[in-house]
Amino acid sequence: MSEETRSEVYAELAAVGPYGVHPGHALITMVEPHPGHEYAYNRWYEDDHYYAGAMAMPWMYAGRRWVATRDLQLLRYPEKSAVAQPVTAGCYISTYWVTDGRYDDHMKWTVGINKRLNRDGRVYQDRTHVFTAFQDHEATVYRDGAAGPRDFHALDHPYAGLVVEVIDAEGAEQRAELLEWLRSRHLPKRLSGSPSAMVTIFRPTPLPSDRMSYVKQVEGVDTRLTLLWFLEADPRECWEEYFTGLEEPVAEAGLWRVELVAPFIPTVPGTDRYVDRLR
């Protein structure tokens, strides 16, 4: 068996390269199951793909799956979004952390395993990737400073909700200005006293040329930032007060545009909870 699996080289691989806990990279994948396939898609993802297509891979060390029921989908904005058409598309999102400095190693494995899963008929085809990208970590802004869970805990801590915000800049230089504005001015003010414990900021990276054909190439590699707001309350309870109007200060501050603000709640692993509330 060791010859088949090359177990003898595992010790060599473990002895070299970065192995910290910082989430240097993320996989963020928002998906819409095709109508009539909601239950089958959910069972495939819960029972097989979350593990075989993600968590079992080297250097992907934390994951969490989230769902937007129909009432949550209807809170999204702007209506004309460059991310989701219509803006309600993409009722499931999965978020995964990848060890800092291990992106290339992980990608070699993930491309190989997904080709194998596809050959073996273990990829559910009746779904559409709305917003799927590997992303590099740029910053984390905390509401409570050094107190509370860190960003590497975020996908294991029992947060009650997630808000995904996507902002586009006009170019790379404007994105750098946007990042600095978010990190030093906008987010500290917005987080203060809010139910959101932290916001992680990522920038997308291009997918490899040998990616699976059903996943489209990433847009906005030089211009886009993705913000993940981790909430200690159900987003429906605090939406009006804290999350409406996020586009206004962004538009006022510079050459940037909010392309998506979308709330989610965590799935309950191993169950079909919320599947009957997607439409």
For 270-279, the pLDDT digits (tens) are 999 999 999 9
Closest-CA residue to 246 (of 232, 225, 266, 267): 225
Q: 196-204 and 127-142: which strand pairing? A: antiparallel
SS3 category, 85:
coil
For 138-166, the pLDDT digits (tens) are 999 999 999 999 999 999 999 999 999 99
The pLDDT assigned to 42 comes to 98
pTM score: 0.95
Given a cut of 70, whether residue 212 has pLDDT beyond it is: no
What average pLDDT does this structure show over 110-115?
A: 93
The pLDDT assigned to 139 comes to 98
Given a cut of 70, whether residue 82 has pLDDT beyond it is: yes
Q: Report the mean per-residue pLDDT for the chain.
A: 94
The pLDDT assigned to 207 comes to 76
184-215 burial, b for 16+ CB within 10 Å, e for fewer? eebbeebbeebbbbbbbbbbbbebeeebeeee
Given a cut of 80, whether residue 218 has pLDDT beyond it is: no
Please report, as a single letter, which amino acid is at residue 30: M
Given a cut of 70, whether residue 216 has pLDDT beyond it is: no
Given a cut of 90, whether residue 118 has pLDDT beyond it is: yes
Cβ–Cβ < 8 Å for 234, 177: no
The pLDDT assigned to 189 comes to 96
The pLDDT assigned to 1 comes to 47
Cβ–Cβ < 8 Å for 262, 28: no
What average pLDDT does this structure show over 188-202?
A: 97
The pLDDT assigned to 99 comes to 98
The pLDDT assigned to 206 comes to 84
Judged by average pLDDT, the poorest of 84-88, 176-180, 215-219, 225-229 is 215-219
Given a cut of 60, whether residue 24 has pLDDT beyond it is: yes
Helix H segments across the chain? 2-5, 10-14, 38-44, 50, 70-73, 103-119, 172-181, 187-191, 235-238, 247-253
* In the chain, % of residues over pLDDT 70: 96
